[in-house]
Structures are given as C-alpha cells and as structure tokens.
Structure 1
C-alpha cells in the first residue's frame, strides 16, 4: 500500500479523505475497521465524512488497524495534529462580528468544568469591570455594544459552583494602566472580591518573584481537551493531546510561582491602594 506524501494536505477534509482512502486500499469495511479500533461504525463514518475530527489517539488506532507502514503513519499523524489545530485571525473575527467570538467562548464554558487561565498582560473579560471591558474594545471601530453585553453576561459562569476556575495573572496583567487610576483600583478590587468565591483560585505572580521561565503568550485550558493561545493577530486553538499537555505542564509551573489566598489579596490591596494614592 502506497500513498504519496504530497497528497497529505493540511486540512480536516484531507485527513478524512486520507483515512478513507487508506481503509479502502486495505480492503476492509467501516464495520470491520470499527471492530478493530473498538469504535462504532458511526464514528468511523463521521471521521471519513469530515463530520468529526479524530484525535491523534483515534488516528493512531486506525493506522495500527490498517497496518500502515511507519513512514506513512508518521505523515498521517502529522496531518492529524494539524487538523486538530485551528487559527482564528482578528480580522475575520471583526468581519463576522465580535459577539460571534463571545458566543463561541460561551460554548466552551458550557461544555467544560475545569478552567485554567494564564494572563500575561491583560485581565480576561470574565474578571473585568464594565469599564475595563469597554476599554478593551475601544481601539476597534464600530458599535460593539452587543459584544460588550455578551462579555459581561458570560461572567455569570463564575458563580456556577459545578465549575472550577484557576486564574494566574502576572503583576503586569493586573497593573497595566489600561484605565485611569481610580478605575484601575476598582478593577483590582474586583479581582480580590472574585478570589473569595469558593470555586475560584486566583493567583498573582509579582515582579519581585524569581521566575526562571519566560512566558510568551496568554493561554486558556478547558478541562484537558482544548488549549487556546492568544497572539496580537489572533488565536490558536489546540485539540491535540500533546499540545494540550504541554500547556498543562506550563500552567503547573506558573502555579508554583504564584501567590494565592490571603497573600494574593494582600498584594492586590497594596496595588489598588497605590492606584488610589
């Protein structure tokens, strides 16, 4: 069985077509392949029809069941990893409406129970005051009243005690002068207040801490299945388990340098008072 590497184009549709072609060349039915992989025939059908993007584990099971040669298996696994990654550029988001992005995030929040946020340079919308939310969109032209309202509406998820949140903010994220000093003091007070909720752990990494690793991006992890990484021009969405695991490990490292509980609130109070003075 052969398959030309140049045919392995980087898209979900091509991954589906590739797996379907490999199965047919192996001369087995979807039902037989499903039995070998301990999957349902419906799942195999949805994978081959590009209705379901398989995880890397799923792809590895299928390739083993098809007895694909190792070099081809590596190529298809790389294609699967790409298919489990999504790029969302800011210009497309603005064209389709910023409230659409808010609805997508709300969907992640509905379907997840454990959340980890590493905030490098700004406060996330879930923790933001209305003034901060408005300021975060002020540089984008147009009427964003719907997106602002949706951002604030999403904050209700913080009070769902069936969900657990861990927020880690650098001192820069907390203190960046995004608003006038009195409004920044209110924003920092909000962080301290939210840290008292029973299902939330909120920590800060102050500048006077020794942190021998250098973060590059803000990122969020939903359960252990999705990681979103923000850049200046968009966001990457990772679903491959190896990528998500890498961000879980990075988050755990930052947890070890953060101040939580009363120590965190003491720092927040100090920074808020400095804004007021």
Structure 2
C-alpha cells in the first residue's frame, strides 16, 4: 500500500508539470482533473489507513458525500479538499498539490469556437437551465447588456457583427434567447443587472435601435423581480471593470471573455465576485434615479435620429 501511495504522490505532483500550487486552465483537461482528484483522495485515504466513515467524522463531511467524491460523482469544493487533507494529516507539499488540483477541477473553460460548433441553441438551453435553478442572479455588465435584456433587433445586431463567432441558424438562437426572457417574469426570483454607462450607451446600431434598447431596460426595471442598476461614468469608482460576470446564488460564477467563458465554483471565488458586485452596486443608481438616466439617454438617441438626413 505504501508503494501505491508513493506512486500516487509522484503522479499528483507531476500532473501538469507545473509548480506546486500553480493554477492553469485547460479545457481539454477538465474531466481529467476531476478524475485525478477523486482517485488521489481515495488512494491517500487508503494509504493513511482511514475508513470512509472515520474520515467523514474527522473532517465533518457526511460519509455519503465522501463516497460520492471518491467515486467522482460529486466534485468537491476547495474547502472540502482542505478539510480532507487536514483530516488525513498530509505533508504540506502534498496538501498544497491537492488544493491546487481542486482549484483547477472547480474551473471550467469553454472557448467560443467550441460553443459554436456545438450549436448556439445548446448554449441557450444551458443558460435557461441555470436561470431556472437559481433564485438570485447578479449580472455585472461593463460592456454590453446581456441577452436577457436585449430587444430582438439589438440581439440580431450583436450576433451578426463582423467579429461575431456566431454561425448557423441565428434566427433560431434569437428565438431561444427571447424565450429565455420569460424567466424575468418569475416573481420568485431576483435578477440584479448592474450596467455601466458605457455598456448602455455603446453604439451597436442606429440611434433608433439604441433608443428602443434603452426603453426596454427602463420597462424591465419595473418588474417585481428585476433590478436595473446604472453606474454612471461621472461616478468615482476605485475599482476596474475587467469583464462581464454572473453570479448564480452562492454556488457558481461565470465570466465572459473575448475568447470564451470561465465557470468558477470555488466558494472563495464566488464570495470574491459577490463582494465585487456589491462594491460596484454601492456606487450605482437604482430605481427611479436609474430610469431617469435611461430616459435621458434614450431621448438623446431619439434627438440624434431626428437630426439625421433622410435617405432618398
């Protein structure tokens, strides 16, 4: 058993050839990370000589969850792994390697190309499932309104822009996005959308299209389960808006990048993004104040449209 344990430790330390505790995200390795983590935790428990029941008592995790973790049916959080390695009294190096592996296993990455290859409609169904399961969702939108807030024409403009990776049946994807918007009328859920002024006023199309999009935001803000918050450029905010992110309850964060999407489940990561959202929210306008800004900017777009020369 000891020899098997040493083999497991050597394999664990050489999983990616990186430094102990280093974090890399490779979409091709996501499944392997989970399998490696499950196998390593089980083998190390056997090396130490603890039963699953005894380990559960020592780390305060139910025996059934320990069993599901070791079989790969449940992905343990980083906190779970920290509790397990403490209960196993592993050396500092091994514990650090396991925690690093847990962090990798709790992060998923899907590139835009892979999402497009699967089909735009699959992504919409996945998002609909997330929105159906969650009761509170926080959206930080520094660059563009999310599709839950978009008009059909604005949506089409976004999906057919020159650099868009969208291919195939765009009309089908738009129909599914519009269908997803019905969840905003579910009064048992809370949707908090925090948009920067840049995201709201970024010119994705004609003045008329933009005015209607702003009207849409104002209209949705009156739904009982929807909160539209606006962060004006005039506000001093001592934090950077690096990227769009969404927090689902307290269990999942997704971050949008140019090249793809990252999903994070580590409770520490989730708590970090919730704190960041709340900090940004403390500087934002809400309710009637936010609607006043939206109406003013919409009127600006309408005035601009009226001043444009008519095409012959």
Q: Give TM class, smaller chain.
A: over 0.9
Match of 2:223 in 1: 197
Q: Which stretches in structure 2 are left out of the alignment for 5+ residues?
A: 17-28, 304-312
Match of 1:18 in 2: 40
1:185 to 204, 211, 220: 211
Q: Helix, strand or coil: the match of 2:137?
A: strand
Contact 2:13 2:97 in 1 (8 A): no
Match of 2:107 in 1: 85
Q: CA separation in 2, counterparts of 1:217 and 1:203?
A: 17
Cα-to-partner distance string for 1:98-148 (whole Å, 9 max, x where unaligned)? 111111111111111111001011110111111112222113332222221
Contact 1:8 1:75 in 2 (8 A): no
Q: Helix, strand or coil: the match of 2:230?
A: strand
Alignment of 1:226 with 2:260, yes or no, is: no
1:172 to 190, 198, 201: 198
What is the CA distance between 1:82 and its match in structure 2? 1.0
CA RMSD of aligned residues (A): 1.6
Match of 2:169 in 1: 143
Q: CA separation in 1, counterparts of 2:43 and 2:14?
A: 11
**Worse-matched range after superposition: 183-192 or 143-152:** 143-152
Contact 2:109 2:263 in 1 (8 A): yes
Match of 2:291 in 1: 265
Q: CA separation in 2, counterparts of 1:92 and 1:128?
A: 24
Q: CA separation in 2, counterparts of 1:132 and 1:147?
A: 13
Q: Which stretches in structure 1 are left out of the alignment for 5+ residues?
A: none
Contact 1:12 1:50 in 2 (8 A): yes
Aligned residue pairs, count: 277
Match of 1:118 in 2: 140
TM-score (norm 2): 0.84
Q: CA separation in 2, counterparts of 1:152 and 1:255?
A: 27
Q: Helix, strand or coil: the match of 2:104?
A: helix
Contact 2:142 2:198 in 1 (8 A): yes
Match of 1:49 in 2: 71
TM-score (norm 1): 0.95
